[in-house]
Amino acid sequence: MTDGSLRFGIVGCGSIGPTHAGAIKQLAGMQIVACADPVADRARALADKFGIPKVYASDAELLADADVDVVCLCTPSGMHADGAVAALRAGKHVIVEKPMEVSLAACDRMIAAVDETGKKLTVISQHRFDAASQLAKKKLADGELGKVILATADVKWWRTQAYYDSGDWRGTWAMDGGGALMNQGVHTVDLLQWLAGDVRSVNAQIRTSAHERIEVEDIAVATLAFANGAVGTFVASTAAYPALPVKVDIFGTNGGMSIEGDVLQLLAIKGQETLRGTGASAHALAVAGGGTASVKDEAATRSAAADPGAVWGDAHREQIRDFITAIREDRQPLIDARAARKPVEIILAIYESARTGKTVQLG
């Protein structure tokens, strides 16, 4: 690293690799110097698109490159721990695509490697960086909504059978770690617990209702009890045709907020003007500092809900920016390894509850 710049390497050049590359390219002074993928055509396509000078056939080759300061792991979920531990021990900082991993033991291996090496690690949970999310966090932290009493989230998306058939790791417990919850819903699980507080217990049911040849769920419904006394629900699906924007609602004793499609649609505090739609969104942008974080329009959100190839990268950019600042200032990123473990723990508890038919306690 020279002049405050960082040199990035991308491991895994498939569907999410271009999102990381596009986000990094928007950050002044940052360089992508290498990419790696065992599928040569995939690696070459990414390199050609983003002007990446070095192309490797394996992550081991990329990790041996002294020019790489930061590794972006864009590999299947069940490969994250091996890749992250190897990268950290090779002296690299690491950005891991969601989820952190598919088991708590694997997450703990990653945390131990962070502690052992002193290097930084973040796991992508970019929706914390949306303007609406930042505003919600501020209102809750300031106590303006009062005591949180109800928190709900819906991820009602659609994935075709072809999506699951497109990779032999998709829809498997070993590599995908789960279905609508672990793959699509993990961002929103993280956002809900970040806003509403730690989850104390869950009770859940899951189903595989609209897809074939997958081991995992395409519908999950859970009730949640939070440590602060609030209750809530979480619904995740890849069987909800034609798909709806993600929705997160938080209600307190003094007011409520609703985020839909990453846009603030309602802000109501007793004794104050209730903001709806564009008025609420404008307020979120003002609080977030003029829109430096991502606020997407509903049309784009609907597209991504139905099409996993429709990605934006703005919020990825903001999370990577935070990670770069954490490296420069030698502080923890907003989403460090221990924070990234929490949504995985909640999702695994939901799976256990669905499997056993019992309420599962966390922590």
In the structure encoding, which two tokens stand for residue 176, read together? 């995908």
The per-residue pLDDT for 293 is 39
Residues 6+ away with beta carbon under 8 Å from 28: none
Q: What is the pTM of this model?
A: 0.92
- Which tokens in the block code for residue 238? 């890849």
Q: What pLDDT is recorded for position 300?
A: 40
Share of the chain above pLDDT 70, in %: 92
Q: Which two tokens stand for residue 308?
A: 């996993």
Band (282; pLDDT cuts 50, 70, 90): confident
The pLDDT of residue 28: 95
Can you read off the two tokens belonging to residue 133?
Answer: 């999310």
Q: What is the pLDDT of residue 223?
A: 98
Give Cβ neighbours of residue 337 (< 8 Å, ≥ 6 apart).
Answer: 100, 107, 110, 111, 114, 121, 122, 123
Q: Cα torsion for 318, 22, 300, 99, to the nearest 10°?
A: -60
Q: Tens digit of pLDDT for each residue in 210-261?
A: 999 999 999 999 999 999 999 999 999 999 999 999 999 999 999 999 999 9
Q: What pLDDT is attached to residue 363?
A: 81
How confident is the model at residue 290, as a pLDDT?
A: 53
Section 81-88 average pLDDT: 98
pLDDT at 295: 35
Element (H, E) at 288: helix 278-288
Count of Cβ atoms closer than 10 Å to residue 326 Cβ: 18
What is the pLDDT at residue 311? Answer: 43
Task: Give the per-residue pLDDT at 283.
Answer: 87
Residue 292: per-residue pLDDT? 41
